Structure 1
């Protein structure tokens, strides 16, 4: 069973001329009461990656390590490379890479094999810095590292490295105090993000350099930069979704929708004969992500509504039933979602997205002002949906029309996001109004879905002989929230004006 630890650390290089570097006296660091020598431990780690180093290119490390108190498999996922923050997911020792960890790198690895890439053997001299109360502040180690390449050529290297790892729950500012002492002793910040990155570089073939930042010039450049950013977001968020981190499913779903929306909006730039099938697959993925996300939103909304009720108006085991209903539905959705992310269809979609941004199907003839024309077209479509919704009488037909208007608002907003770097305030203004309207229409749609859920819960409660009073009360409140949203729509829409005010 894998466990996760948030790791905050800094690495330093010993002075070049000092092969036997020793730690300076750290007892003078503010807050340090004692420096405890924990002795020397020998560590032996084999790092795994694909033959073309896909994990290393993303600053991800996967290793099998023996020696020390935390022997086992370690997967390190970057949280903030600039701050030296990574999540370390650990699993017990085994001969093969644990399934829990292979899933977390699948969006990078796809169907390629994980092979032994590098062996690092370290002699680690460990010291603990403790406060006056005896609590651990940080662990400081001097590592004598010997690296041997196992795949992709031969090569060895060795160096001395100082590593300072903050204790769990510690203040990151403390690392700066330790760093001051180390710099005075001649140490300098490591240029490599990890031991593996340094070993790869010094044994001949370093990790693939990151793609240089886009500097778009043409309309096609702007569209492709946007598509690439959303593709990267899907790949980056995959491990977070598998780990069930907060908001990860929502953010991944948003990235799929942004991609699909951009493909549809900018059909005058990209050949839709090629991109429409990709859009269909993105719609499928968004739908699969949606059930889990929708359940999460519903549960949060209904729980908050219960919290707002006076205690005397909550009759029967309403909270217990809500928790049971939510857990049962979400448990099944989680299992299904992980199966989707492991499915060949999803992996094939990732490969297609790679091909899309690397070899885009650009149309031979593209209109002048393609970005502005696309935003204008989507805005007019959005306006038509709003007018249709306002023309409907209150009821299911209007609910459906408002939901369509919300989807049109999203498409307009995303089209404006693509164009904003080129069009500036003109597109930003459109996007701002579209987002405000999307939020209002989203509140209305959430109320519609909450009422469906409340009817379901009330039916279950009735069948069990429980009071349904509270469900009816919450249903009425949701109706009132929807009515308020509908009343706010006309004046908010009036503020958006028309495309002519932006052109």
Structure 2
């Protein structure tokens, strides 16, 4: 096990009968240790009965002690802000604001006490002959008990936290670390105390089966893909609840999950898969109402910024922004309301259950070792091409929209098989290109419709001028024509 980096706090496990070395013996005469404080505290960890918070890498605890009493929620790295606090308040009920932040992680489940950790902590400060602080060492003995059935019962352990001070030159700190490890200290390998008390994280998503396993390879691939989308649903749930506004990633996750259920429909129990897909569609529609306005706001802001000033007449930028932002805020409020409701939490529970206990169709269970991923990918690709051909032949915008949805399904199917063949990886690239082309056409059609609506209303408002609305509308018409031509070129090559 390698030593921990110098210059930042480091944690070490030590035996319970271990003693701190003499600073003068380690660093030379004049170096002394002072005990700053000795404290006792109790931390109660909260989680669902299924350990959903632990599996996600989040910890929720109630700490009581002389200096740090209160509620504390720690989220995984990459989700900002990563740490949330709430005052002591009730000692039995999780504060509403923290309960709301983890309700998606908990999938609507009740939060119960999962472990209690009692701590006896002494903080030592090592200084040089001038009194400058070299390090602070926190020596902590912990006694833990787990409440969750089946949890690891680790009764007690002792750990050190070493934090360099202003005078903590790397050479001195390395000398201290060497003395600690020579005396039996080992770098702590477990980051979360909750993990240490309760055991490992939740079961990992299913892996690809080896030859001879009972689950067919294509089913394991599909379930692993669904597990990745389930993880995205939870991660993006937390980001939305902590202030992020971009719903694109979670919307894509719902689409990928629905596409997998549709393309590989024969693998799963039809009623269960259909019900799950329908709930994903409901959630995706709520996300779409927000995302569509975000896309259009960016689109119009860019288009107006690119126009010469003399062609921008009247308060057109404010008119468009006010209209779209108002719709976006209303859609976001509807989304937040839904995410606080039972239907949404039931969707998250269904997603987890689908991954943990896949409802395989009887024929799938009998077809041990069968492999139909390639044929499913190819079938999805043929369907996308047929729909594109029909749309281009008829010039029907609605059919182009249907072709776009089929293209997404073909792309996601190819993504699932991309690890198996170069042909699938090439299909991912090709269908992604077509998806972007058809997406540009769809965005132009939506933008043009809005411009017609807002432009037609200018005659009743003397402060407005329809001139710039007309210019923007003409630009959208040209963009749609270019996108259609690009789709035709794509089809000639694919």
What SS does structure 2 have at the residue aligned with 1:62?
strand
Q: Is the 8 A contact 2:125 2:135 kept in 1?
A: yes
Counterpart position of 1:171: none
Q: Is the 8 A contact 1:147 1:158 kept in 2?
A: yes
Q: How far 1:466 sits from its partner (Å)?
A: 2.3
Q: Distance in 1 between matches of 2:314 and 2:22?
A: 65
Q: How far 1:146 sits from its partner (Å)?
A: 2.6
Q: Is the 8 A contact 2:108 2:346 kept in 1?
A: no
Q: How far 1:62 sits from its partner (Å)?
A: 0.8
Q: Is the 8 A contact 1:63 1:75 kept in 2?
A: yes
Equivalent position to 1:184, from 178, 184, 200: 178
Q: Distance in 1 between matches of 2:244 and 2:281?
A: 23
Q: Distance in 1 between matches of 2:192 and 2:22?
A: 20
Counterpart position of 2:373: 371
Equivalent position to 2:382, from 363, 380, 388: 380
Greater Rg, structure 1 or structure 2? 2
What SS does structure 1 have at the residue aligned with 2:75?
strand
Q: Is the 8 A contact 2:51 2:202 kept in 1?
A: no
What SS does structure 2 have at the residue aligned with 1:356?
helix
The answer as to 2:92 corresponding to 1:90 is no
Q: Is the 8 A contact 1:62 1:73 kept in 2?
A: yes
Q: Residues 200-241 of structure 1: CA distance to partner in whole angstroms, max 9, x if unpaired?
A: 1xxxx4244542761334222211211222122212321112
Q: How far 1:487 sits from its partner (Å)?
A: 1.5
Change (3 A) 1:178 1:419: farther
Change (3 A) 1:400 1:164: farther
Counterpart position of 1:135: none
Equivalent position to 2:303, from 302, 305, 308: 305
- TM-score of the superposed pair, with normalisation by structure 2: 0.80
Counterpart position of 1:466: 463
Q: Residues 111-161 of structure 1: CA distance to partner in whole angstroms, max 9, x if unpaired?
A: 4322233234353638799xxxxxxxx996625243443634886424123
The answer as to 2:76 corresponding to 1:78 is yes
Q: Output aligned runs, 1:44-443, within 5 Å.
A: 44-66=42-64, 71-79=69-77, 87-95=82-90, 96-116=93-113, 117-121=115-119, 123=121, 125=123, 142-149=138-145, 151-152=147-148, 156-162=155-161, 183-185=177-179, 186=181, 188-198=186-196, 200=197, 205-208=198-201, 210-211=203-204, 214-217=207-210, 218-245=217-244, 247=246, 249-365=247-363, 369-393=371-395, 397=396, 399-422=397-420, 424-443=421-440
Q: Distance in 2 between matches of 1:373 and 1:56?
A: 39
Q: Is the 8 A contact 2:16 2:141 kept in 1?
A: no
Q: How far 1:20 sits from its partner (Å)?
A: 4.4
What SS does structure 1 have at the residue aligned with 2:266?
coil
Q: How far 1:407 sits from its partner (Å)?
A: 0.6
RMSD of Structure 2 on Structure 1 (CA): 3.9
Q: How far 1:69 sits from its partner (Å)?
A: 7.0
Q: Is the 8 A contact 1:44 1:67 kept in 2?
A: yes
Q: Distance in 1 between matches of 2:143 and 2:460?
A: 67
Q: Residues 320-378 of structure 1: CA distance to partner in whole angstroms, max 9, x if unpaired?
A: 33443333222222221122122211222222223322332333445865212212221
Q: How far 1:17 sits from its partner (Å)?
A: 7.8
What SS does structure 2 have at the residue aligned with 1:78?
coil
Q: Is the 8 A contact 2:35 2:122 kept in 1?
A: no
Change (3 A) 1:126 1:350: farther
- TM-score of the superposed pair, with normalisation by structure 1: 0.78
Change (3 A) 1:485 1:179: farther
Change (3 A) 1:267 1:209: closer
For these two proteins, the number of residue pairs brought into alignment is 455
Q: Which consecutive aligned stretches of 4+ in structure 1 deviate over 6 angstroms post-superposition?
A: 22-25, 126-129, 174-179
Change (3 A) 1:271 1:473: same
Q: How far 1:460 sits from its partner (Å)?
A: 5.8
Change (3 A) 1:361 1:209: closer
Q: 5+ residue gaps in structure 1?
A: 1-7, 29-36, 130-137, 167-173, 498-503
Q: Is the 8 A contact 1:146 1:159 kept in 2?
A: yes
Q: Distance in 1 between matches of 2:245 and 2:22?
A: 40
Change (3 A) 1:461 1:60: farther
Q: Distance in 2 between matches of 1:322 and 1:23?
A: 71
Q: How far 1:316 sits from its partner (Å)?
A: 2.6
